[in-house]
Amino acid sequence: MYLILAGLLMLVSWLVSNRLKNKFELYSKLQLQNGMSGKEIAERMLADHGITDVQVISVEGQLTDHYNPADKTVNLSEAVYNQRNAAAAAVAAHECGHAVQHATAYSWLEMRSKLVPVVSVASSYIQWVLIAGILMMRTFPQLLLVGIVLFAATTLFSLITLPVEYDASNRALAWLENKQMLTQEEQSGAKDALKWAARTYVVAAIGSVATLMYYVMIYMNRR
């Protein structure tokens, strides 16, 4: 049953990721009538929220956009940073949504930030601990339990990420609409792009929960 579920989740993940890619390609062709780049959109949103200590910078790669609360930077991929289309506007505003969360002490973001060090350590060892725990289940079942606890931390991180990402998108879309930054067509494109981006996090969270349950079942059955 787990193999079937895992296969279904992999298929759904591929479909959502492929759909997301197609959506961003589509809305990357929808040029903004205001002529603003992703960088300019981001700087404008930060200024409108009174945030003056966050820098907007360009980073290499694709889909590498993120907000770094440690050094207070909105990191935009080269395509988003320089381009002037609905997809770039959506991503730039979304990442600034995280900056606004940080500035307003959004509780879910603070919870996720506190988990980052734990998840970082857990991710480095979790695979080996789980494998060793399964192999040594009869002689040392506690090792698998340690692996389950570590994996539970990463699962919790995935679940907490959901409200953080959805809230950032809602803030972005609300600002774009209230400030009339986009036309109706561009706004619809930005909303659609962010909707599919959010679904990748939903699929990841479901997959993490399913995998956690699988290891728990192994532990309970072997016990």
pTM, rounded to two decimals: 0.89
Q: What is the rounded distance in angstroms from the CA atom of residue 120 to the CA atom of residue 200?
A: 21
Q: What is the rounded distance in angstroms from the CA atom of residue 166 to the CA atom of residue 162?
A: 6
Per-residue pLDDT 10s for the chain (223 aa) are: 667 877 888 898 899 888 988 999 999 999 999 999 999 999 999 999 999 999 999 999 888 999 999 999 999 999 899 999 999 999 999 999 999 999 999 999 999 999 999 999 898 899 999 999 988 988 888 999 999 999 999 999 999 999 999 999 999 999 999 999 999 999 999 999 999 999 999 999 999 998 999 899 888 887 5
Q: Around Cβ 158, how many Cβ atoms within 10 Å?
A: 19
Each residue's pLDDT tens digit, 136-167: 988 888 999 999 999 999 999 999 999 999 99
Predicted pLDDT of residue 130: 92
Q: What is the rounded distance in angstroms from the CA atom of residue 117 to the CA atom of residue 153?
A: 11
- Within 13 Å of residue 174, how many CA atoms lie on the same side as its CB? 11
Q: What is the rounded distance in angstroms from the CA atom of residue 16 to the CA atom of residue 201?
A: 10
Record the tokens describing residue 175, joined without a space: 């600002």
Predicted pLDDT of residue 128: 93
CA angle (148, 213, 133) in 5-degree steps: 35
Give the rounded distance of the alpha carbon of 168 from its chain centre: 10
Residues tagged active-site: 95
